[in-house]
């Protein structure tokens, strides 16, 4: 086996793929990423202490912010989609994949203390341990891609792309859903971990 380190070829092909989609120009995608990185770093939810700290029930900033974000976002998104300013992008209910994947993902997240979105932010601020995690993630991506033809069998059955809002079918539901998540965010303990700087 050999590693494909043709970075120029990688970017040429990747830019080409982005141009063929209608999901924004490169600069806009990078800008969305920058804003995501700024928000995550500024709130410091990209730290082991905040994420693994929640797994140890020591601090609750991560679930509070996550539930609060989803609560607000869900209400706005519902009406944006209804008025035609956005579209649904629903992932299928692959029962086996969701359950087995969710278990492996969460075990890894408790140990690494980060996930695929927050991990790169932690790397960007100098966490060498998370860089080891990112290398593990890249290898996992390759291994998964290689094994995919065999893994497909355990990922099903595919139960379609349902949303709760569509199942209920009334506008009031989105307010119940969104407000409930916002209330949960406020009810979770406000206990936080004292922030310290890690060592080399």
* Interactions with another protein, residue window 106-165 (CB under 8 A): 106-130, 132-146, 148-149, 151, 155, 159, 161-165
Report the C-alpha dihedral over residues 131, 137, 138, 139, rounded to 10 degrees. 110
Among 53, 156, 170, 183, binds another protein (CB under 8 A): 53
Q: CB nearer to another protein: give 143 or 187.
A: 143
Minimum CB separation from another protein for residue 189, in Å? 12
Q: Report the distance separating Cα 118 and Cα 61, nearest Å.
A: 14
Minimum CB separation from another protein for residue 141, in Å? 2
Binding mask 55-94 for another protein (x = CB under 8 A): xxxx--x-xxxx-xxx-xxx-xxx-xx--xxxxxxxxxxx
Helix or strand holding residue 117 (H, E): none
Q: CB nearer to another protein: give 128 or 172.
A: 128
Q: What are phi and psi of 190, to 5 degrees?
A: -90, 10
Instruction: Say which residues have a Cβ less than 8 Å from residue 87's Cβ, sequence separation at least 6.
Output: 81
Q: Report the distance separating Cα 13 and Cα 9, nearest Å.
A: 6
Q: Does 183 bind another protein (CB under 8 A)?
A: no
**How many Å separate Cα 188 from the centre of its chain?**
21
Q: Please count the residues of this chain forming the interface with another protein, following the rule CB under 8 A.
A: 145
Beta bridge partners of 94: 158
Give first-to-last CA distance, the chain, whole Å.
34
Among 12, 82, 102, 183, binds another protein (CB under 8 A): 102
Q: CB nearer to another protein: give 44 or 179.
A: 44
Q: Report the distance separating Cα 152 and Cα 147, nearest Å.
A: 9
Binding mask 3-42 for another protein (x = CB under 8 A): xxx----x--xxx-xx-xxxxx-x-xxxxxxxxxxxxxxx
Q: What are phi and psi of 112, to 5 degrees?
A: -70, -35
Minimum CB separation from another protein for residue 157, in Å? 13
């Amino acid at each position: 086996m050999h590693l494909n380190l043709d970075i120029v070829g990688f970017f040429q092909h990747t830019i080409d793929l982005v141009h063929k989609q209608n999901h924004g120009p490169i600069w806009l995608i990078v800008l969305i990423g920058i804003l995501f990185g700024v928000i995550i770093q500024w709130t410091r939810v990209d730290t082991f202490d905040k994420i693994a700290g929640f797994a140890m029930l020591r601090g609750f900033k991560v679930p509070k912010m996550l539930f609060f974000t989803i609560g607000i976002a869900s209400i706005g998104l519902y009406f944006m989609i209804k008025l035609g300013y956005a579209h649904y992008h629903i992932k299928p209910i692959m029962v086996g994949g969701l359950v087995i994947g969710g278990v492996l993902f969460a075990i890894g997240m408790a140990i690494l203390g980060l996930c695929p979105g927050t991990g790169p932010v932690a790397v960007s601020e100098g966490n060498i341990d998370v860089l080891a995690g990112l290398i593990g993630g890249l290898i996992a991506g390759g291994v998964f891609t290689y094994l995919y033809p065999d893994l497909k069998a355990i990922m099903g059955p595919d139960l379609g792309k349902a949303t709760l809002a569509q199942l209920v079918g009334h506008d009031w539901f989105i307010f119940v859903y969104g407000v409930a998540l916002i209330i949960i965010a406020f009810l979770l303990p406000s206990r936080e971990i004292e922030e310290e700087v890690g060592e080399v």
